[in-house]
Amino acid sequence: MARRRCRRERLTVVEADPIDRNLTLQCDIAVIGGGLSGLLALHELIEAGIDAQLFEALPRPGGRIASVRDQVSGAVIADLGPTWVWPPYQPGVTRWMERLGLRTFPQYEAGEAILDLHPYSPPLRQFLPGQHGMMRVEGGPQAFVDALLSRLPPQSIHLDSPVKGLSHNGDHLVIFSRDREIHARKVILAVPLRVAAQTIALDGLVDDRVLTLMRNTPTWMAAQAKVAILYETPFWREAGLGGRVASRVGPMVEVHDNSPANGSVGALFGFVGWGAQDRRDLDLKVEIRQQLIRCFGPQAGEFIGMEIRDWAFEETIATAQDQTGEPAHPAALPQFMREPLADGKLHLAISETAADSPGLIDGALEAGERAAKWAMG
Ligand SMILES: Cc1cc2nc3c(=O)[nH]c(=O)nc-3n(C[C@H](O)[C@H](O)[C@H](O)COP(=O)(O)OP(=O)(O)OC[C@H]3O[C@@H](n4cnc5c(N)ncnc54)[C@H](O)[C@@H]3O)c2cc1C
């Protein structure tokens, strides 16, 4: 018991440092949004010797990429945001992983899956096919964020700096953050499109057709709640199970093995299938524990940590529309969403604007790289 408590104390959600606060700032290029696309754009600009600064609303960088870390070693032990990449179909992911020195490993899928189909009958065991090309990243997708942060000067990143508005001022744009103005020649907006349309006053910088698409484009996975459950070991593997669950009972509709590559702990992750408002009113941890015991046996109730990240209620990621809308993978947006706006001073760079893999990690890399190239042009 003491050991379990000790392990619990070692679990922590990634958070970042507090920030400096100045009243005015000038830079050549400003990046708004410190998710993967914004960080990658900043990386490219800084590497090219450009005076670029990034403004992120939250006190932590990474956006939809968030993780549970071992508090002692700092190692990522489970994902609260994305988990998978598909290198055979995502050349951008492969190229960036090589550039940042990251490695993939296969999703653990040996063993049978659990079909949890009826509330009153025991779950079934059955082999389910995996997805071709689906891989995990050593250190989780968090490794992309960590690698970029390790290459960026800390003073170029302003956390806890939500942007409230943007405005023209002669040959530059003015950014209004909570407690300061930033003057920049060009601005990269790497904020979920709906969130940007609703929370940032754009002062006529984008026309109606762009604004309409911004409002109508769902943010991929913004409606989801993801659960990470930690164990001393991936005990299900010894029982011939792959850690996978497909459920019609819930609360989790999908569960997968999320154990780190080195097997230092056992981890499962699940997606909660119940609607955002419904799941808010429940004691989710209790319901999830019951489901785990039903599917994997009593040992599954003895987890050393459980972390739930409900993205639907993260105000810098999801809007009310995302909470209620049907989950739908975004289609590629028209080319004009990838073109410069505001007389060549503004460019959208969120994953959902990518021509390939919109909404995915691959899309975030593409969008960040495209925006940085534009800014350097
Ligand atoms: C649960 C979940 C599972 C996923 N699974 C996968 C997967 O397996 N594989 C995959 O490829 N993709 C997956 N994705 C999608 C992937 O995480 C995203 O494509 C990627 O992280 C998007 O990065 P981004 O920088 O474009 O956007 P975001 O990560 O959304 O970054 C936007 C940033 O803008 C900031 N911001 C918002 N408003 C303001 C403001 N006013 N001022 C300043 N900053 C602001 C936000 O705080 C955030 O940091 C998943 C996402 C989630 C949530």
Every domain of the chain and the residues it spans: 14-64+141-218+319-377, 66-138+223-313
Whose C-alpha lies nearest to ligand 1, atom 4?
82
Amino acid 5: pLDDT: 34
Residue located nearest, by CA, to atom 25 of ligand 1: 35
Token pair belonging to 346: 């503004």
- CATH (one of 3.50.50.60, 3.30.460.80, 3.40.50.20, 3.40.50.920) for 14-64+141-218+319-377: 3.50.50.60
Ligand 1 atom at shortest distance from the alpha carbon of 37: 25
Q: Within 10 Å of residue 44's Cβ, how many Cβ atoms?
A: 20
Query: For residues 111 and 241, is the Cβ–Cβ distance under 8 A?
Result: yes
Burial bucket for residue 132 (CB in 10 Å: 0-12, 13-18, 19+): exposed
Report pLDDT for 178.
85
- The correct answer on CATH 3.90.660.10 for the domain covering 66-138+223-313 is yes
Residue 137 amino acid letter: V
pLDDT given for residue 252 in this prediction: 97
Pocket test for ligand 1, best of 42, 54, 64 (most atoms within 8 A of CB): 64
* H-assigned helices in the chain: 2-9, 36-47, 91-100, 142-151, 193-199, 208-216, 235-238, 276-280, 284-296, 320-324, 361-376
Measured in Å, residue 140 CA sits from the centre of ligand 1 at: 14
Burial zone of 149 (CB within 10 Å; 0-12 exposed, 13-18 middle, 19+ buried): middle
Yes or no: say if 329 and 335 are a contact pair by the CB < 8 Å rule.
no
What is the reported pLDDT for 98? 98
pLDDT given at position 115: 98
Using the atom order of ligand 1, give the atom closest to the CA of residue 84: 8
Report the alpha-carbon distance of residue 364 to residue 361 in Å, rounded: 5
Distance 13 CA to ligand 1 centre (A): 16
Ligand 1, atom 20, residue with closest C-alpha: 361
Please report the pLDDT score of residue 13 as a whole number: 40
Position 3 scores a pLDDT of 33
What is the distance in A from the centroid of ligand 1 to the CA of 250? 25
Alpha carbons 154 and 67: distance in angstroms, whole number: 20
Phi and psi torsions of 106, nearest 5°? -70, 145
Which one, of 63, 137, 164, 57, lies nearest residue 367 by Cα? 63
**Residue 191 alpha carbon to ligand 1 centre in Å:** 8
- Expressed in angstroms and rounded, the spacing between residue 106 Cα and the centre of ligand 1 is 23
Atom of ligand 1 nearest to the CA of 226: 1
Q: Residues with Cβ within 6 A of ligand 1? A: 32-38, 55-58, 63-65, 81-85, 162-163, 190-192, 195, 199-200, 220-221, 224, 226, 311, 316-317, 350-351, 359-364, 367
C-alpha 37 – ligand 1 centre gap (Å): 8
Which residue, judged by its Cα, is nearest atom 49 of ligand 1? 63
Mutate to test the pocket of ligand 1, among 83, 107, 144, 191 (most ligand atoms within 8 A of CB): 191
**What is the amino acid identity at position 139?**
G
Which ligand 1 atom sits nearest the alpha carbon of residue 363?
Answer: 19
Whether the link from the prior residue into 298 is cis, omega within 30° of 0, is: no
Across the chain, where does the E strand assignment appear?
Answer: 11-13, 24-32, 52-55, 67-70, 76-79, 84-85, 104-106, 112-116, 124-126, 135-137, 157-158, 163-169, 172-177, 181-189, 225-231, 241-247, 252-257, 266-272, 305-310, 346-348
Centre a 10 Å sphere on the Cβ of residue 366 and count the other Cβ atoms it contains: 27
Count of CA atoms in the C-beta half-sphere (13 A) of 43: 23
The atom of ligand 1 lying closest to the CA of 62 is: 49
At residue 22, the pLDDT reads 52
Ligand 1 atom showing the smallest separation from residue 362 Cα: 11
Ligand 1, residue 367: give the atom nearest the CA. 26
Enter the tokens of residue 111.
């063993």
DSSP designation for 190: -
Residue nearest (by alpha carbon) to ligand 1 atom 35: 33
Task: List, in sequence order, every residue forming a beta bridge with 308; answer none if it has no partner.
Answer: 227
Going by CA atoms, what residue is nearest to atom 15 of ligand 1?
Answer: 360
Q: For strand 112-116 and strand 124-126, is the pairing parallel, antiparallel, or unpaired? A: antiparallel
Question: Which residue has a Cα nearest atom 27 of ligand 1?
Answer: 35
Q: Is 346 exposed, middle or buried (0-12, 13-18, 19+ CB in 10 A)?
A: buried
pLDDT, tens digit only, all 377 positions of the chain: 233 333 333 444 444 344 444 588 999 999 999 999 999 999 999 999 999 999 999 999 999 999 999 999 999 999 999 999 999 999 999 999 999 999 999 999 999 999 999 989 999 999 999 889 999 999 999 999 999 999 999 999 999 999 999 999 999 999 999 889 999 999 999 999 999 999 999 989 999 999 999 999 999 999 999 999 999 999 999 999 999 999 999 999 999 999 999 988 999 999 999 888 888 877 899 999 999 999 999 999 999 999 999 999 999 999 999 887 666 678 999 999 999 999 999 999 999 999 999 999 999 999 999 999 999 99
Q: How far apart, in whole angstroms, are the C-alpha atoms of residue 222 and residue 171?
A: 36
**Burial annotation 203-237 (CB, 10 A radius, 16+ → b, else e):** eebbeeebbebbeebbbbbbbbbbbbbbbeebbbb
* Contact (Cβ atoms closer than 8 angstroms) between residue 125 and residue 112: yes
